[in-house]
Copies of this chain bind each other. A is one copy, B any other.
């Protein structure tokens, strides 16, 4: 059963930040204010922010964190597996705070990206690229097309 994923709630956010701190300790990476603020910002911004959008977020602006640090923090978050990177044609790199297996509906008109779950296509159903000596660590599906709003606009024309 396919479904659109709900936004990340406060409880989940707390858990994710704690998880981040744990992974930092495990990896021997110092936990700085800057990194903490960047994680919070990403989790607060529902829906795939770009690095620049994170940089422009109120939290990050208020703390006067530099652009370089935002890029570096985001990269370390990816390294630690706290967030993932997503990239769709014609768009810049975006960060995705969602970790559970999910896929992206990308609108070719307006660029909007919607998270969907489709348990029928997950890691468990994609075991065997080992035929090619390839070890699959992640599977993402891009469904590209036109969203409801843009279809309505097209019809009017």
Contacts and interface: CB of A to CB of B under 8 A. Distances in A.
Contact of A141 (B128, B142, B151): B142
Contact of A86 (B89, B93, B145): B89
Count class of interface residues, chain A:
35 or more
Contacts of A107: 134
Nearest to A75: B90
Contacts of A132: 4, 105, 114, 116, 147-148
A131 B85 CA distance: 27
- Give this chain's copy count: 2
A14 interface: no
A146 B133 CA distance: 9
Contact of A129 (B2, B121, B131, B134): B2
Contacts of A4: 132
Contacts of A128: 2
Nearest to A114: B132
Given A121-B141, A129-B143, 15 more contacts: A85-B90, A87-B88, A87-B90, A87-B91, A90-B93, A132-B147, A134-B147, A134-B148, A135-B145, A136-B144, A136-B145, A137-B146, A139-B141, A140-B142, A141-B142
